[in-house]
A and B are shown apart, each in its own frame.
Chain A
Amino acid sequence: MTGKPYRLAEGGSRIDRAKRVTFSFDGRDIQGFAGDTVASAVLASGQKVFGRSYKYHRPRGVMGLGSEEMNALVGVGADAKREPNLRANQVEIYQGMVSESQNRWPSLTFDIGGINNKLSRFFPGGFYYKTFMWPKAFWKHVYEPVIRKAAGLGKAATGRDPDNYEHMHIHADVLVAGGGLAGILAAEAAAKAGAKVVLMDENPVLGGIADLTAGMINGACVADWLAPKIAELKAMPNVHVLVRTTVVGHYHHNFLMAAERVADHDPSLLAAGAPRHRLWKIRASHVIMATGALERPIAFANNDRPNVMLASAVRALVGRYGVSPGTNGVVFTNNDDAYLTAFALKKAGVNVQVVDSRARPDGELVARAQEEGIAVSLSSVISAVEGTLAVKAVKIAAYRKGQGRVITEKRVECDFIASSGGWNPVLHIWAHNAGKIKFDDGLQSFRPDTHNAAMTAVGAANGTMSVEATIAEAQAAGEAAAKSVLKKAKAVKAEKLEVKEPRRAALESLWFAPATGAYNEGNKHFIDFQNDVTAADLELAQREGYESVEHTKRYTTYGMATDQGKTSNINGLGVLSEATGKTIPQIGTTTFRPPYTPYSFGAIAGSLTRELFLPVRRTAVYQWHIDKGATWEPVGQWRRAYTYSGAGETKHQSITREILAVRNKVGLLDASTLGKIEIKGPDAAEFLDRMYTNTFSTLKVGKCRYGLMANELGFLTDDGVTVRLAEDHFLMHTTSGGADRIAAWLEEWLQTEWTHYKVFVTPVTEQWSQFGLAGPKARDVLAKLAPDFDVSNEAFPHMSFKVGKLGGFPVRVFRISFSGEQSYEIATPAGYGLSLWKAFLEAGAEFGIEPYGTEALHVLRAEKGYIVIGDETDGTTTAEDVGMGGMVSKKKADFIGKRSMEQAELKRAGRKQLVGLLTEDPNEVLPDGAYAVAEVKDKPPMKMIGQVTSTYMSPTLGRSIAMALIENGRARMGETISFPLEGGKVVRAKITDTVFYDKDGGRINA
């Protein structure tokens, strides 16, 4: 050790000691080197605590090597650019980076939530379901606010994310997930055979853990032998290599998603226009899974203290960053691999000894430790860890496999622990999409079995741990993948290799190390570090009957944190196995679900934000509405003018003005969004008879008819006026939101049921601008625009139409009404829309014409009792329910929904029926959706008998009106019913007819 306490004098394959980088962690400036991670640089500065745990607020430090890290989560960036919950050992530092620890308050070393640790007897597994239950009122005001403040991980960004993101779609003959030894060799073989290869790796540097692996290939260490291969691979024209790119999910038919962190390590790339993250969507003919393996921790007492690390993580700190976690270490293992960490530490001048739970390991690495003079305690475990903010000492106890209690132990001072419980193949993308896995006794872990998709696992991901076997397996898999994909693959010449690697002793499972003192009193054996789940919690779940592993998981939250159980899954199964006497394969495993690691919402959204989030459909008059100060109502993707409020006018005032203009003078509505579908062909009339509940074959050319459409269940789905343009030619109007759905509906029946009909269905909504001209002066405005057709009431009565010219514009004019006034809807090809709109306003000026919006439209129609599909109907409403039983043909043999309408339930008396409502207080407007009850009581439950479907203040009538679906409503005319509202208020209203205005229809026909 040199002047800087934890930075070693030499070593560090990833860092450049010539380039100093300063960044901040929790407001403190930290010096690191280019190539450092937040973890390596902060550890080098001497700080060990990186955060507080989720439930007990225990201090935690770095534990892992890469994406399995569960403790050292940090937030990077500030305000709108902050990204929380990043793994400190994967975050690359850059000059000026701002990072912070999480879940601590007020500070890392003193955290008030740490009291949860003292109170931990009140937070056992499943505490969510046991504690904080009473008194009931405490939940909302005391428990929840306090828990919300103390719990959780990082803070979300504030404000709108200023950075850009994008999606990329690619195809690959062979996708290789993972760029370690296996992935590189598989990619090389596939590429040499001629396949188009994409290789993705989540680390900034390819090579996986080749640099942490024992063995020599052709006289060179594994990493040195691999280096030129990596360079060669990157240079191949048919190979696309992506680093900092995690394959996060595998889906059906070899569709994969990968998240690339493009610019997180270098903000200058952002300034140059790069996206921050990129989401790759890959369709691969063949997938090679070379995702490696993750080391698993050992469950020993207080195995979560800062500076308890995985052996591989310690090895990487020393080898890659020239950092040692301390000066005096203990390696705790049940396998040979961790001995490599002891050698690395010894070589770096760090004092180290080994604690091995096995009695007689006979591998070459164990022998080498003795040769190198490293103290090895066999048949031993760590039974206690002293120190809270850092490891101060351990107790080493004698152990025999299966032993549950400590009999003899000795105390040893140390300042860090490197532990290894074996290695788990990274199976996630194998298992995401139904790949089978099997338990491997040698590994004491699961490995890939069969898969329906074209996918091959190689190397450590396949449970193949030796270098020699990995090379053979990877090269064979790469070549085979290319052969399976390509019509003609090139032959790949085999290399001559001489591989030497140490002979290893078998691993011996160690799921639980006995602890000093009484069981679980101050001794926590953590299984899931991130969610603070201990071995005792898992055993408790078993005792309480949550026996299935899926139940245990949900009851204890084991495996449910952001690391998704990468290190806890197998260890938890081991504990459950010992608690139940079942084998791990008998217990089974929980489901692996994408994503492998979390990725940002920005990456998911890609470029589809802001104006690209949802395309806006605009009518020809869109800009005029804006200029006139319209506020918008979104209808499907359309924007419709809601009301045109003038200067100093409230919305309520402008809506009232617009309604009165229609009732007393004339109003103009942009109804272009109304769905328009042309139906043409010799069988068009018969087809419409099938589609509508009422009859259209009897409609005369030149006439309009209102139609109701039901689904096969007999419930209403759409309504609108359809006109007969010619014997074989109809124009159907649908609701604005229903145009696409109804066109697809018609097509479906034509294509799948009545395939012999000669009918074309053509949606023409956007082709036409359509305007409603309504009010007692409507005809005067039409007449003033010099129509070339007779507009007199006799020649052009209600529910008829004309085709002709109006003010020089080609038009179709329909005399139909949704306001109850004398009314015309004028359609013109969309290109003429704005000009015709202006012509109407000019011609109507002398009659007091005013444009009106959708809210006025709705009040006007409600005053007349006209229904809106989706307001007065809810998907379980029949024509009979809304009082339109007369529009259901009794003569037609068949139409969509007919047979279902004959079912007893749909004909039952007493169903909810549409009625009008007049509140006792004419100024009281019922809330939309308010429930009517049979009898008002002090508190719920009260029997509900129906609900308000439309409710408005009617300026025409000078009082409130409403419509409602009420049980047996039509038989209850004149009855007064009650609507209990929030705060104990009760509104009473009288049931009436739904038509509030102009009941005899005189105005519509005037």
Chain B
Amino acid sequence: MLLVTCPVCNATGDETDFHFGGQAHVARPATANPEGITDEQQRDYLFARINPKGLHFERVRCDRGCGKWFHAARDTMTMEFKAFYGITELPPDDVIAQAKGGWAEYFAMRKKKQK
């Protein structure tokens, strides 16, 4: 039974007070540009997910609290939460620095875009 803290209303509760929303930071291609989305792009959007052993980023909703969606950075091996952060935000830099594999690539791409 994970212990979760909502970064919006600061309530801490059991995971059953929250709603799990799958992997974080999955971009919906049609929102940016609905034209010319290939089958492969759509497949990846719908089904391709990172399944890391270690640090992972997920979406959570504060179901019995403020009702807001937010992000959680969780280590899938130790179950430790490294950070809770807003739904439109990227994780804190020190957490990004711990990301590996697919997540490291993703955050590098996001940083590059920001510049």
State the Cβ distance, A112 to closest chain B Cβ, in Å: 47
Bound complex: CA of A903 vs CA of B2, how far in Å?
39
Q: Which of A515-523, A744-752, A772-780 contacts B (4 or more CB under 8 A)?
A: A744-752
Binds B, one of A345-353, A823-831, A840-848, A892-900: A892-900
- Do A894 and B31 touch across chains, with their CB atoms under 8 A apart? yes
> B2, B30, B69: which contacts A752 (Cβ < 8 A)?
B69
Which residues of chain B from 1 to 60 have any CB-CB distance to chain A below 8 Å in the complex?
1-3, 14, 19, 21, 28-31, 34-35, 37, 39, 42, 46, 59
**A754, CB-defined interface residue at 8 Å:** yes
A904 to B38, CA, bound (A): 12
> Which residues of chain A are within 8 angstroms of B88 by Cβ–Cβ distance?
755
Question: Cβ of B2 and Cβ of A751 under 8 Å apart?
Answer: no
With known contacts A748-B61, A903-B42, A252–B28 Cβ distance under 8 A: no
CA distance A434 to B78 in the complex (A): 8
User: How many angstroms between the C-alpha atoms of A251 and B39 in the bound complex?
Assistant: 41
Measured between beta carbons, the chain A residues less than 8 angstroms from B31 are 753-754, 894
Q: Can you give 28 A-B contacts (C-beta < 8 A)?
A: A251-B1, A252-B2, A252-B3, A253-B79, A255-B3, A255-B14, A283-B3, A452-B77, A452-B78, A712-B28, A712-B46, A713-B46, A744-B19, A744-B61, A748-B21, A748-B69, A751-B68, A752-B87, A753-B28, A753-B31, A755-B87, A755-B88, A893-B35, A894-B31, A899-B29, A899-B34, A903-B42, A904-B39
**5 closest Cβ contacts across the A-B interface?**
A255-B1, A894-B34, A452-B78, A253-B3, A751-B69
Contact B37 A899 (CB under 8 A): yes
* Closest CB in chain A relative to B18 CB, distance in Å: 13
> Interface size (B, Cβ < 8 Å)?
27
Q: How far is the CA of A893 from the CA of B30 in the complex (A)?
A: 9
B34 touches A898 (CB 8 A): yes
Would you call A253 and B29 a contact (CB within 8 A)? no
Which residues on the B side are within 8 Å of A894 (C-beta)? 30-31, 34
Q: How far is the CA of A941 from the CA of B19 in the complex (A)?
A: 43
Interface size on A, residues (CB 8 A): 24
* Shortest CB distance B86–A (Å): 10
Q: Are A893 and B34 touching (Cβ within 8 A)?
A: yes
Interface string of B56-92 (1 = CB under 8 A from A): 0001010000011100000001111000000110000
Report the Cα distance A302→B61, complex, angstroms. 59
User: A744 to B21, alpha carbons, bound, how many Å?
Assistant: 12
Those of A875-927 within 8 Å (CB) of chain B: 893-894, 898-900, 903-904
Using CB atoms and an 8 Å cutoff, list the residues of chain B in contact with chain A. 1-3, 14, 19, 21, 28-31, 34-35, 37, 39, 42, 46, 59, 61, 67-69, 77-80, 87-88
B79 pairs with A252, CB closer than 8 A: yes
Contact of B46 with A900 in the complex, beta carbons under 8 Å: yes
- Which residues does chain B contribute within 8 Å of A744, judged by CB atoms? 19, 61
Residue picked from A283, A900, A904, most chain B C-beta under 10 Å:
A900
CA distance A748 to B59 in the complex (A): 11
Interfacial residues of chain A within 325-350, with CB under 8 A of chain B in the complex: none
Give the complex CA separation of A712 and B1 in angstroms. Answer: 30
Please indicate the chain A residues that have their CB under 8 angstroms from the CB of B39 in the complex: 903-904
From B28, B35, B61, B80, residue with most partner A Cβ within 10 Å: B28
CA A755 to CA B86, docked complex, whole Å: 12
Would you give the shortest CB distance from A169 to chain B, in whole angstroms? 9
Q: What's the Cα separation between A434 and B77 when bound, in Å? A: 9
CB contacts (< 8 Å) of B67 on chain A: these are 747
Contact of A452 among B35, B59, B79 (CB under 8 A): B79
Which residue in chain A gives the minimum CB-CB distance to B32?
A894
> Given the known A-B contacts A283-B3, A899-B29, are A752 and B59 also in contact in the complex, defined by CB atoms under 8 Å?
yes
Main SS class of interface, A: mixed
Contact A252 B34 (CB under 8 A): no
Minimal beta-carbon separation of B37 from chain A (angstroms): 5
User: Is B80 within 8 A of A751, CB to CB?
Assistant: no
Bound state CA distance, A893 and B59, in angstroms?
Answer: 27
Q: Which of A751, A753, A900 contacts B42 (CB 8 A)?
A: A900
Q: Which residues of B contact A751 (CB under 8 A)?
A: 68-69, 87
Q: Which residues of chain A are within 8 angstroms of B46 by Cβ–Cβ distance?
A: 712-713, 900
Q: Which of A561-605 contact B (CB under 8 A)?
A: none
B31 to A, closest residue via Cβ:
A753
Q: How far is the CA of A251 from the CA of B79 in the complex (A)?
A: 11
Instruction: With both chains docked as a complex, state the minimum distance between the C-beta of A179 and any C-beta of chain B, in angstroms.
Output: 24
Q: With A252-B2, A747-B67, A903-B39 known to touch, is A452 a contact of B80 (CB < 8 Å)?
A: yes
- A419-449: which residues lie under 8 A (CB-CB) from chain B? 434
CB distance from B6 to the nearest CB of A (A): 13
Complex CA distance for A868 and B29, rounded to whole angstroms: 31
Q: How far is the CB of A689 from chain B (nearest CB, A)?
A: 12
Residues of chain A within 8 A (CB-CB) of B79 are 252-253, 452
Q: Are A898 and B69 in contact (CB under 8 A)?
A: no
Residues of A with C-beta under 8 A to B3: 252-253, 255, 283
Is there an interface contact between A899 and B42, defined as CB atoms closer than 8 Å? yes
- Closest A residue to B42 using CB positions: A899
A446 and B79 CA atoms in complex are apart in Å by 24
Bits for A687-720, please: 1 = Cβ < 8 Å to B, else 0: 0000000000000000000000000110000000
Give the shortest distance, in Å, between B16 (CB) and chain A (any CB): 11
| Chain B proximity of A434: nearest CB distance (Å) | 8
Q: Which residues of A contact B42 (CB under 8 A)?
A: 899-900, 903
CB neighbours of B14 from chain A (8 A): 255
Q: Which of B1, B2, B68 has the most CB of A within 10 A?
A: B1
Chain A residues, CB < 8 A from B34: 893-894, 898-899
User: Complex: how many Å from CA A664 to CA B79?
Assistant: 64
Tell me how far the C-beta of B29 lies from the nearest C-beta in chain A, rounded to whole angstroms: 7
Q: Which residues from chain B contact A904 at a C-beta distance below 8 Å?
A: 39
The complex places the Cα of A900 from the Cα of B30 at a distance, in Å, of 11
A434-B42 Cα distance, complex, nearest whole Å: 37
Q: Which residue of A lies closest to B67 (CB)?
A: A747
Contacts of B35 on A, CB cut-off 8 Å? 893
A416 to chain B, nearest CB (A): 45
Residues of B within 8 A of A899 (CB): 29-30, 34, 37, 42
- Per the bound structure, the CA–CA distance linking A434 and B67 in Å amounts to 32
B68 CB to closest chain A CB (Å) equals 6
Q: A751-B69, A753-B28, A755-B87 are in contact. List 7 more A-B contacts (CB 8 A).
A: A255-B1, A452-B77, A712-B28, A744-B61, A747-B67, A752-B59, A903-B39
CB-nearest residue of chain B relative to A254?
B3
Q: When the two chains form their complex, are residues A898 and B1 in contact, meaning their CB atoms are under 8 A apart?
A: no
Q: Chain B's nearest CB lies how many Å from the CB of A432?
A: 12
A748 to B61, CA, bound (A): 9
Tell me the complex Cα distance, A755–B68, Å.
12
Which residues from B are CB-within-8-Å of A903?
Answer: 39, 42
State whether A253 touches B2 (Cβ < 8 A). yes
Q: Which residue of B lies closest to A756 (CB)?
A: B88
Question: In whole angstroms, how far apart are the Cα atoms of A899 and B67 in the complex?
Answer: 29
**Least Cβ–Cβ distance between B106 and chain A, in angstroms:** 17
Nearest CB of chain A from residue B17's CB, rounded to whole Å: 12
Name the residue of chain B whose CB is nearest to the CB of A281. Answer: B1
Measured CB to CB, the closest approach of chain B to A777, in angstroms, equals: 44
**Bound complex: CA of A747 vs CA of B87, how far in Å?**
13
Most B C-beta atoms less than 10 A away, residue of A713, A893, A894, A900: A894
- CB under 8 Å from chain B, chain A span 718-761: 744, 747-748, 751-755
Complex interface residues of chain A between 242 and 269 (CB less than 8 A to chain B): 251-253, 255
| A987 CB to nearest chain B CB (Å) | 39
Nearest neighbor of B70 in chain A, beta-carbon distance? A751
Give the residues in chain B near A255, CB-CB below 8 Å. 1, 3, 14
The winner among B19, B46, B77 for most chain A CB atoms within 10 A is B46
Measured between alpha carbons, how far is A252 from B80 in the docked complex, in Å?
Answer: 9
